[in-house]
Amino acid sequence: MKAFLGVLIICAPLLAGGADLGSADAYVRSGPDGWVLGTAMVEKTVRLSGGSLTLVSFRNELSGREYIQEGAASREVRLTIDGEIVSGADGKWSLVREATRKLAQGELELDLTLRHGNVDVTKHYVVYPSAPLIREWIEVRNISNRPVRIREPYFLESHVLGDEADGLDLHYVTGGGNYFGSQMLKTERMSRNYARTFDSAIGIQTMSYSAYLPLLVLRNPRSTDGVIAGWDYMGHWALMVGNYDRTAVNLAIKVAGYEKPLQPGQSIETPKAFMGVFKGDMDDVGNLLLDWQYKYMWEFTSPNYFAKTRWAVDWPNPWVGNGGTPSGDNWGRRLALDLRYVDLMRETGTDILWDDAGWYDKWGSWNAPEWRLTNDFLAKHAMKWVLWYPTFLATTDSIVGLKHPEWLIPGQRALEQSIKATAGWQKELLDRSVKDWGDFQWRYDIAPAVSANDTDYLESDRNFRDLLLRFKQSHPASGIDACYGGGRWISYDLARFAESGEYTDGGVGPNSSCCSRLIVPPDKLHNVVDFDHTWYNP
């Protein structure tokens, strides 16, 4: 990761001497009435008054309109502590410190740390110059000398467009699995009494809580403007939209099912979400989000693997759990196939050879052919190599399964990735692989970031993202190809770490990548649309 630029500024409590910061059109200002942060496109005003931290203004500068309406200020924090619902509007908060800093690409971060009884909560905001959105998340720390139980923290909580609740259009995107109807844009007409919970565990193909993709848009069809919300989390989340708490329109996302005692001094950090604005239609929404990613989510994208054509090598059965038997025969066939497919690639102008499943002896042992031969041969023809390598999978009789049986999720052939040591083991495995084979594009699939329960998913998600980051930092000439039984991976930060990713992995028929392009750059997407001949059988 690029080093942060600028000076960290710690300000005195209660806004006295608050530091203003600017970067191009982005700004963070503090004063006696609160904090104002935004760009030429979007602006938020957050206020701490009477012990309550609330969002009192949310402006769309593209249309010149205010979205905090009917006097319904939004509580900026919400979670349950020791059975008590705690919110930013309950009048029990005091400011501990505020900090502002400029990040590596000119972004501005505002961190507000507030105290509520036995916990300190830090609300983080990131403003991006020339972008229409502001990212946010919270960190909760136990400052007492006893455990405190934290339940279902929210990482976005807003009341917006209350005056316009009747007649708003709500747009969402179906899940990322490999089925007909995935990644489709759906629209519902809202009313003042409309209320719906989008639960990531309820729907079609909900493996790893992927019932919906992380984009929701509220649009006023009369003024043709509105609100964009997006988030990054591979665990269980629930999004409440509409008339909740007897107020329209509530927009809130929580870490669903999370419940854990925080020990003294321990902290947790929620996933990241953002709120943004737009003027126009859904194409304008997509263009704004893509412009943001091309500018601020591109630092790990290697030109060696980005926007390249690829050809998948046939692979022998079996491929689940154990590789071919005997392995020597399997490996000899695989390398011979690689030679044949390189010839085909030379004839057709293909860029990357794709070795998929079946090449190993066991998941969790990962003994392999002499892949250096393949990689060196490809280099002679200015080609690259991608390998299907789900390092988080393991059988009970594999090397890692025998050495660390406690790392396996009971009844599954996958590591419990909330255990931080599993990410360390995967990083060492990948480091050895790059050393032995040369730089390559690592393709993950099947079960990234999984855990046995909703609570531990928060940590497994964080560990997996950290693994991707450290792989990229250690091996800048290598790449990442994202997959999770199709497009369950599709989200902003996971696209940031990848040069490419598969969006359905077969089975979708005539609808292909229709609306995932709204969320991640389409030039990072590729697909085997119908390898199983679900829809097309020539």
pLDDT at 530: 63
Work out the number of other CB atoms within 10 angstroms of the CB of residue 527: 20
pTM score: 0.94
222-260 residue pLDDT tens: 999 999 999 999 999 999 999 998 889 999 999 999 999
Element (H, E) at 342: helix 327-348
pLDDT at 207: 79
Look at residue 28 and give its three-state secondary structure: strand
For residue 332, give both structure tokens. 């000899």
In the numeric block, the tokens 């996971």 are attached to 494
φ and ψ at residue 203, rounded to 5 degrees:
155, -160
pLDDT at 432: 98
From the list 420, 418, 521, the residue with the least C-alpha distance to 470 is 420
Residue 34 to residue 31: CA distance in whole angstroms: 5
From the list 94, 102, 81, the residue with the least C-alpha distance to 13 is 94
pLDDT at 505: 84
CA-based radius of gyration for the chain: 24
pLDDT at 188: 98
Q: All domains of the chain, ordered by start, with CATH?
A: 9-287 (2.70.98.60), 310-477 (3.20.20.70)
Residue 389 to residue 482: CA distance in whole angstroms: 11
| DSSP classification of residue 267 | E
Instruction: Identify whether the C-beta of residue 274 lies closer than 8 Å to the C-beta of residue 289.
Output: no
Query: What letter represents residue 225's amino acid?
Result: D
CA dihedral sign of residues 253, 258, 259, 262: negative
From the list 163, 118, 138, the residue with the least C-alpha distance to 53 is 138
pLDDT at 527: 87
Contacts of 483 (CB under 8 A, 6+ apart): 443, 444, 445, 489, 501, 502, 505
Task: Please report which residue ranges of 172-270 form alpha helices under DSSP H.
Answer: none
pLDDT in tens, the chain (538 residues): 333 333 333 333 333 335 799 999 999 999 887 999 999 999 999 999 999 999 999 999 999 999 999 888 799 999 999 999 999 999 999 999 999 999 999 999 999 999 999 999 999 999 999 999 999 999 999 999 999 999 999 999 999 999 999 999 999 999 988 888 889 999 999 999 999 999 999 988 887 888 999 999 999 999 999 999 999 999 999 999 999 988 899 999 999 999 999 999 999 999 999 999 999 999 999 999 999 999 999 999 999 999 999 999 987 666 666 665 555 667 888 899 999 999 999 999 999 999 998 888 899 999 999 999 999 999 999 999 999 999 999 999 999 999 999 999 999 999 999 999 999 999 999 999 999 999 999 999 999 999 999 999 999 999 999 999 999 999 999 999 999 988 999 999 999 999 999 998 876 766 666 799 999 999 999 987 666 666 666 6
359-391 residue pLDDT tens: 888 999 999 999 999 999 999 999 999 999 999
